[in-house]
Amino acid sequence: MKIFLDSANIEQIKTAYDMGAITGVTTNPSIISRENRKFDDLLTDITAIMTDGPVFAEVLSVDAEGMIEEGRKLAKKSKNIVVKIPMIPEGLKAVKTLSSEGITVCNTVVFSASQAILSANAGASYVAPFVGRLDDIGEDGLCLCQEIRDIFDAQGIDTKIVAASVRHPVHVNALAKMGVDIATMPFKVIMQMATNPNSQRAVEGFLKDWEKVPKE
């Protein structure tokens, strides 16, 4: 399973990329707003780091015509841009048009398997079910991802599943076991995955024991 970073923070992206932890970056309007920088400047910096992986950028319009116009502009900014389109009826129209033009599209804010089926039929290369947000309202986000995985496998659908709103490493492990293609997560979750107190204690123990080794 591939790991994407859900962030527009340049330092976080550099760190995760240098660790070899990520192969893509996802953003949304809320994430962009936290950086207090112009969107175009941020996108330029992110794509300069992620030269060999996709960078997801979201449209702001809620009508098909506006989404299509924004999507075309975003796609021109870099060859590895994936245009994020919200999973609403107007969004499906935009997905169909943009994908027919060869633009890579992700249908985002997916909260049901039936939405994922429609996204795939419209031509989306990716669908993004929101795991944590479903958990927040007492539903099972992991169960939704499993349902989409089962349907896509049964139907031979090639659309990739990008599990979003991933909150902790337990989510990541469960998603990997069910065969989800990609999990996108905050920097904090990646560092939780990379850090374990037992690993740190083992390193400290090795270094302490090494001090006992004769140097001459």
Question: How would you write the pLDDT of the chain (216 residues) with one tens digit per residue?
Answer: 999 999 999 999 999 999 999 999 999 999 999 999 999 999 999 999 999 999 999 999 999 999 999 999 999 999 999 999 999 999 999 999 999 999 999 999 999 999 999 999 999 999 999 999 999 999 999 999 999 999 999 999 999 999 999 999 999 999 999 999 999 999 999 999 999 999 999 999 999 999 999 987
Encoding tokens for residue 156?
A: 């031979």
The predicted structure's pLDDT at residue 81: 98
The single-letter code of the amino acid at 64 is A
Task: For residue 84, indicate whether it is catalytic.
Answer: yes
* Per-residue confidence (pLDDT) for residue 43, from 0 to 100: 97
Query: Residue 149 and residue 145: Cα distance in Å, rounded?
Result: 6
pTM, whole model, 2 decimals?
0.95
> What type of residue is 104?
T
| Residue owning tokens 């979750």 | 189
R_g of the chain, CA atoms, integer Å:
19
Output the pLDDT for position 216: 79
Q: Which CATH class is domain 2-210?
A: alpha beta
Query: Which residue of the set 77, 84, 93, 96 is catalytic?
Result: 84
Q: What is the SS3 assignment for 26?
A: strand
- The greatest distance separating any two alpha carbons of the chain, rounded to the nearest whole angstrom, comes to 76
So what's the pLDDT on residue 13?
Answer: 98
The pLDDT of residue 215 is 84
